[in-house]
Amino acid sequence: MKKNRHQAILKLVDQHEVVQVNELALWLDVSLETIRRDLNEMQDKGLIQRRHGRARRVDSPPSYGWINSLQRVSHS
């Protein structure tokens, strides 16, 4: 159940970018406390960000691949 709920939360966050905790509780038919526990766990895993009663997508870290390629070239 929890795994399915987490997958549903991620899908909803992807679709809406930012979702309210109370909306998630209504959509998933669970208590606010359950959603809060789920969001805390998901935030600890780096899957979402929580801010003031909302959940949002985690922004992708910037890619520094070009720096690594420059370092490889300079060491050759």
Q: What residue ranges do the domains of the chain occupy?
A: 2-65
pLDDT at 73: 53
What per-residue confidence (pLDDT) applies to 60?
A: 55
Residue 68: predicted pLDDT:
52
pLDDT of 3 > 70? The answer is: yes
Where is average pLDDT lowest: 20-29, 37-46, 65-74?
65-74
Q: Provide the b/e sequence for 25-58 (b: ≥16 CB within 10 Å).
A: beebeeeeebbbebbeebeeeebbbeeeebbeee
Q: Which two tokens stand for residue 42?
A: 């998901």
- Predicted TM-score (pTM) of the model is 0.73
Residues 17-39 have pLDDT tens digits of: 899 999 999 999 999 999 999 99
| CATH architecture assigned to 2-65 | Orthogonal Bundle (1.10)
With bands split at pLDDT 50, 70 and 90, how would you rate the model's confidence at 69?
Answer: low
